[in-house]
Amino acid sequence: MDNIYKGIMKRKITIYSHLVLMVAGLFVTGCVKLDVTPTNKFTDETYWTSEDKANSVLSMAYRQMFSSDYFIANEILSDNVYNGYGTSNEKLISTGLADASNGRFEGEWGAAYGGIKTCHTFLANVDRVTSMTQLVKDRRKAEIRFIRASLYLELTTWYGDVPHFTADITAEEAKKIARKPHAEIMEWIHKELDEVAATLPSREEYPAADNGRITRGAAIALNARAYLYENNWTKVAEYCDKLINTSTYGSYSLFSNYEELFWVKNEYNSEIILSMQYVPELRTWGNLVDFAPMSTNARLNLAGPTQGLVDSYLMKNGKKWTTNDPDYADRDPRMGATIAYDGSEWIDRSGVTYNIVIHPDGTAPAGRKSDKYTGPGSTQTATGYYYRKFCDPTPSSYTGGGWDSNLNLPLIRFADVLLMYAEAKNELGQMNSTVWDQTIRKLRQRAGFDNTGDALDLPSNDQNLLRDVIRNERRCELALEGLRVFDIRRWKTAETVLTQQPRGAKFDKSSGTYDYIKFPAGNFSRNRDYLWAVPRKERLLNSNLSQNPGY
């Protein structure tokens, strides 16, 4: 595996060590954006003497809930992004070539159980803090329980049956615990999220100083997502309805500007239900250095958007793109806000606008690194495309002038709730113009589609046709946000889309005339690859852990 990528993604921690040790960070008291102190005394009675110390452990749990590494790398597990430079753990997984020693299998398992350990430590000790009011304690416990439920959802979605426990266990117990059935864990997750939703405040009930905390609305939205992963359409519709048609759980709406939705100045806007928190200097993420255009002083292009993703964007008038249409002009504006393509405009951090030049025959802007496609194995794009989403042009969004960003990364947006609702209503045979106008029409209006019937009106009453339309809308709206992989798995289309030959832009002249860049077709076994392997290291530590089929 490429050394640069290995340095970013390497996580070599087992469930056993996570059940025994704490992950360390920086100590800063305050809101949930901040990391916590390195200490081996979180389980000591003497530690739990103040609200600040309790909040430090809570902040640690927030940090362990998810990572920018997985947020970005999850796209490589789908058909949205192709890993053209080196070979990552995710590329091996997406092509069906990973075994039980794969570093992502080990890292995801270990990181999730490490976070669960932190949650259990907090729940077992927070009542010792006498200076906290009962109301605050109850809310903080609810936040921790949400994080724990989200970690178990992550685990059971990837691995199926997993060890499940709701209080800390000993090292000896960790060596003997067996896997609990997926259905039982999902039942627990739903119940847990219902209970915390009854305790947590809505977004409006928090003061600005608490921006970023888990809310009642987040619990409802995550529960909807959990039901989505089970294809329980009745429950998906019920829980999304709570956020769309009532304000009991918080008031959410689409932010007016799709591109600027992902800029720091707007990170607490009305659309964000839950996000990973970052702050200047103290906690940043730097993954874009290997995904942004080279002309922006990126390091290399590890992976780039595929032609398949580009082709999924409609024309602005609502019609499907065809080869008779311009490659990039007059397309769904979300494409340009998500993907840097040949000829697209870029605003650098000094406010200068220039055009991205990727075509091999193009002329790179003077004084900048070249973004031009030069063939496989180079540090430039392998697909003919780069990332644009999350590339905030504001200098203060970064630390040190590089790509260390303090932008919060969205985990759940109201747009996703609208899409879940539309999908559920269609699968229930209840899609109509009212539901369409509440969901897909609103998304397209916000995106900037033309005011035409083809673009904005319900296109058909045919459930199968609408299924394709809604799925494609979901792909375009949520592209590069790490969710596509979960969609193609729950739809059981991964076995099709991941075995097709990925393509890049029409920049390959090896045959004498320009054609689409083509990559080797992947492998994906319907009998094996919908679940990940229980890591080999874990099974060596615990003989009671069974393995998923095919590994």
Arithmetic mean of pLDDT, 284-304: 98
Domain boundaries, the chain: 3-199+530-539
**Whole-angstrom Cα distance, residue 85 to residue 304?**
10
Instruction: Give the pLDDT score at 45.
Output: 73
For residue 340, give the 3-state DSSP assignment. strand
What is the rounded end-to-end Cα distance, in angstroms, of the chain? 21
CATH code, residues 3-199+530-539: 1.25.40.390
Arithmetic mean of pLDDT, 206-223: 97
Question: Is-contact 294 301, C-beta < 8 A?
Answer: yes
Residue type, 63: R
The residues, ordered by sequence, that sit 6+ positions from 269 with a Cβ below 8 Å of its Cβ are 255, 261
Strand stretches in 470-551, DSSP E: none
**Whole-angstrom Cα distance, residue 356 to residue 517?**
19
Condensed to tens digits (0 to 9), the pLDDT of residues 407-440 reads 999 999 999 999 999 999 999 999 999 999 999 9
Residue type, 327: D
Strand stretches in 204-362, DSSP E: 272-276, 303-305, 339-340, 345-347, 353-355
What's the Cα-to-Cα distance from 426 to each of 70, 436, 461, rounded to whole Å?
31, 10, 9
Which two tokens mark 467? Answer: 């299924």
- CA triplet 332, 337, 341: central angle to 5 degrees? 85
Question: What average pLDDT does the chain have?
Answer: 92
**Whole-angstrom Cα distance, residue 245 to residue 434?**
12
Arithmetic mean of pLDDT, 215-244: 98
Condensed to tens digits (0 to 9), the pLDDT of residues 271-285 reads 999 999 999 999 999
Residue carrying structure tokens 């103290």: 282
**353-371 burial: b if 16+ Cβ within 10 Å, else e:** eeebbbbeebebbeebebb
Residue carrying structure tokens 């597990």: 77
Instruction: Give the pLDDT score at 43.
Output: 65
Residues in the chain: 551
Instruction: Give the pLDDT score at 2.
Output: 33
For residue 349, pLDDT over 60 is answered with yes
pLDDT band at 377 (very low <50, low <70, confident <90, very high): confident
* Residue 80: closest CA among 380, 384, 476: 476
Instruction: Give the pLDDT score at 46.
Output: 85
Question: Is-contact 125 39, C-beta < 8 A?
Answer: no
Residue type, 417: V
Residue carrying structure tokens 């609810």: 142
Phi then psi dihedrals of residue 503, to 5 deg:
-125, 155
Instruction: Give the pLDDT score at 40.
Output: 57
The residues, ordered by sequence, that sit 6+ positions from 110 with a Cβ below 8 Å of its Cβ are 11, 12, 13, 14, 15, 17, 18, 535
Backbone Cα Rg of the chain:
23
**Whole-angstrom Cα distance, residue 328 to residue 343?**
9
Q: Number of H helices and number of E strands within the chain?
A: 21, 10
Condensed to tens digits (0 to 9), the pLDDT of residues 130-181 reads 999 999 999 999 999 999 999 999 999 999 999 999 999 999 999 999 999 9
**Whole-angstrom Cα distance, residue 493 to residue 89?**
21
For residue 342, pLDDT over 80 is answered with yes
Q: What DSSP character marks residue 83? A: E
The residues, ordered by sequence, that sit 6+ positions from 149 with a Cβ below 8 Å of its Cβ are 189, 192, 193, 196, 222
Which two tokens mark 124? Answer: 């077992």
Instruction: Give the pLDDT score at 199.
Output: 98
The residues, ordered by sequence, that sit 6+ positions from 457 with a Cβ below 8 Å of its Cβ are 433, 436, 441
Phi then psi dihedrals of residue 446, to 5 deg:
-65, -40
For residue 327, the number of C-alpha atoms closer than 13 Å in the C-beta half-sphere is 15
For residue 15, pLDDT over 50 is answered with no
Phi then psi dihedrals of residue 276, to 5 deg:
-75, 135
For residue 31, pLDDT over 70 is answered with no
For residue 18, pLDDT over 60 is answered with no
Lowest mean pLDDT, pick from 13-17, 182-186, 194-198:
13-17
What single string gives the DSSP state of each residue in 104-140?
Answer: HHHHHHHHHHHHHHHHHHHHHHGGG-TTS-HHHHHHH
For residue 396, pLDDT over 50 is answered with yes
* Helices 51-64/134-159 angle, 10° precision: 20
**486-506 burial: b if 16+ Cβ within 10 Å, else e:** bbbbeeeebbebbeeebbbbb
**189-217 burial: b if 16+ Cβ within 10 Å, else e:** bbebbeebbebbbbbeebeeeebbbbbbb
